[in-house]
Amino acid sequence: MAGVGLLPNLANAREGVEVGKASAFAKFVPAEELEGSARQQYQQLLQKANKQNALAPETNPQVIRLRDIAQRIIPHSYEWNPRAKTWKWEINLIDSNQVNAFCMPGGKIVFFSGILKKLELTDDEVAMVMGHEVAHALREHARERMAKSIATEGATRIGAAIISGLFGIDPRVTDLVAHGGANLLTLKFRREDETEADLVGMELGARAGFDPRAGISLWNKMSANNTSAPREWMSTHPAGSSRIHEMQANMDKVLPLYQKTIPVQTIK
């Protein structure tokens, strides 16, 4: 009879990936400050792109495509971070050869046209990229990294370590970050953060009706495209057989979520 007591817990077990609790370090950097600064810097990035005629208009087919995919993914983000319900989500496309995409704290998403064109991404693969980047924001990896930098490196070194335009920041280090001259595309999360973003991103995509197996084909494309360009998406998201293996190992947790979204076909 002792085993019977376990049944309710098994019945209520959460479907999807398991990545543990969010880091307690993130609490040392106010979310409101981080998201507010990210919002301001996001607008600056868009304004700069617009001046260079690089900001794709709302009527651009790829912008429409990206926003349609985002609208399917975003509702599934709330479980991972309650703050996501209050975020003013935005997604824009910048014309650039860079194979790059990111999601700032607060749900500010940018895709560069290079990642769509060079990799010839399917909708499922776009969803895996988007899910991965959104997962970084949901799991507050940037906020965690800032807090750890403040704690271990000291405020005087924050500017050189933080990516300009990506992070919101504690008011005490605002000036240091503003004058740090850091570059958005040089951001490197911990390998654990990347693995977590891969898995959470697959789940977000799967729940939104995108095939999570596209994560494997995406990384195969990324590996084939990697030509040691230091400022491209691949350089800040280390891939390899171990990374693909991790996704494959968790596929049985996310594939059923995707299959549930497929309409049952009537047998004639």
Query: Which residues are designated catalytic?
Result: 133
Cα–Cα separations (whole angstroms), residue 192 to 1, 20, 78, 227, 236: 40, 11, 22, 24, 13
> From CA 100, how far away is CA 163, in angstroms rounded?
14
Residue 55: what are its φ and ψ, rounded to 5°?
A: -85, 120
CA–CA distance, 88 with 106 (Å, rounded to integer): 7
The residue whose two tokens read 């605002």 is 174
Exposure letters 135-173 (e unless 16+ CB within 10 A, then b): bbbbbbbbbbbbbbbbeeeeeeebbebbbbbbbbbbeeb
What is the side-by-side order of every strand in the sheet holding 108-112? 90-94, 108-112, 101-104
